[in-house]
Amino acid sequence: MNNTSESIYENICRARNEREELPPEYSLPAEEPLPPDRPGFEDGALDGIALYHMSAPGQDSTMLEQAVDAAATDQEQARQLVHAWAADGHMISVMNKLLQYVMERQQQLPPSEIYRLAVECALKGTHREEVKFGLVLLVLFDTDQNEPLKNALRILALSDEFTLYVLQVAANWSKSSLEILRIAKAVHGWGRIHAVSVLEPETREIADWLFTEGWNNLILPAYSALECCQKGNLRQRLEDGLTEKEFSCACELLMALLDEGPVAGISAVEDSVGLLNTFLDCCAGKAVSPQRQKALQQVEAYAREHELPEIAERTRILS
């Protein structure tokens, strides 16, 4: 376990660059040495895999419930309980259970002490699951007027490990969509995937970003392709006409939609054949480029695999 006196929050503060992002090579401090034959996970990967590919295994939350109860009289004991649980626990599997426990006992639990415990764990925690515990509890409180705390949470959100949890708190802030957009732009891994999944295109700026960049993450664009296709209005943009730069983005987004290895993509699009035909209509008026040719190849492969002979023939001619 990480026994340094530096909190995770302090580590992230120190590592962020002048762009208010974490450098590409950054990862959270290791909490325990990994055996040579055991691969490590990128920040946020375990939670991302649990959400997208399997249900999180149920875990015992008794120690965390004891911590919440202890907060009223002994903050130090509460912190020790959380820290002990965090050594082997995974917050993704117990967060709903924990929130339900606190809400059911809100008449007995002193809110000021629960809030204090949440902030202490989030900002002073030295274990990532301890930080997540604090962030989960903060969902229950109105933090919108506490600008210093909001700034601290924005910094925590720079780590893909914590973006998911900060997003749940930020959803209750005023102008939450702009806050989520800000977070989404600053992260590039699992954090961006989580942000795109909850980001609503309430403004043209947000819709444009989803179309041009929202799908562009370091994990796999396919995870966000369907969200960006729908929220970024891909088909309407193709029908309205695109600049060469926008068309390049459309090609990349469409190729991500066609990659249905990890999650549903084009198969979940309403009138997917119509979308492909609209893309081919747009292609007909565009100059040959690497993205255009690669997209056409993938559309043709998809059309042949799914027995769409007219699409396949149109693609072959355009190629």
Do 215 and 82 sit in the same domain of this protein? Answer: no
Do 137 and 162 sit in the same domain of this protein? Answer: yes
Residues 6+ apart with CB under 8 A from 311: 273, 276, 277, 280, 299, 300, 303
Residue 30 is predicted with a pLDDT of: 84
Give dist(CA 266, CA 260) in Å, integer: 8
Q: Which residue has the tokens 């999650």?
A: 263
Q: Which long-range contacts (CB under 8 A, 24 or more apart) does 258-261 make?
A: 258/298, 258/299, 258/302, 259/220, 259/221, 259/222, 259/225, 260/222, 261/220, 261/222
Do 72 and 186 sit in the same domain of this protein? Answer: yes
Query: Which of 165, 199, 233 lies at the terminal end of a domain, its last residue?
Result: 199
Residue type, 242: L
Tokens of 141: 């409180």
Computed over every residue of the chain, the mean pLDDT equals 94
Total count of residues recorded for the chain = 319
Do 5 and 154 sit in the same domain of this protein? Answer: yes
Residue of 256, 178, 267, 175 lying closest to 212 (CA atoms): 256
Do 129 and 65 sit in the same domain of this protein? Answer: yes
Do 246 and 146 sit in the same domain of this protein? Answer: no
Confidence of residue 38 (pLDDT cuts 50, 70, 90): low
Residue type, 18: E
Do 181 and 226 sit in the same domain of this protein? Answer: no
Query: Can you give the pTM of this predicted structure?
Result: 0.93
For residue 76, count CB atoms less than 10 angstroms from its CB and return exposed for 0-12, middle for 13-18, buried for 19 or more. Answer: exposed
pLDDT at 36 over 60: no
How crowded is residue 177: how many other Cβ atoms within 10 Å of its Cβ?
A: 18
Into how many domains does the chain fold? 2
User: Domain range holding 257?
Assistant: 201-319
Query: Which of 142, 177, 199 lies at the terminal end of a domain, its last residue?
Result: 199
Q: What is the DSSP letter of 161?
A: T
For residue range 137-150, list pLDDT tens digits in order: 999 999 999 999 99
Tell me the average pLDDT across 215-224.
97
Tell me the average pLDDT across 69-77.
95
Greater pLDDT, 60 or 219: 219
pLDDT at 3 over 80: no
Query: Which of 169, 199, 229 lies at the terminal end of a domain, its last residue?
Result: 199
pLDDT at 261 over 70: yes
What residue spans of 87-219 are helical by DSSP H?
A: 95-104, 111-124, 128-138, 147-156, 163-170, 176-186, 190-198, 204-209
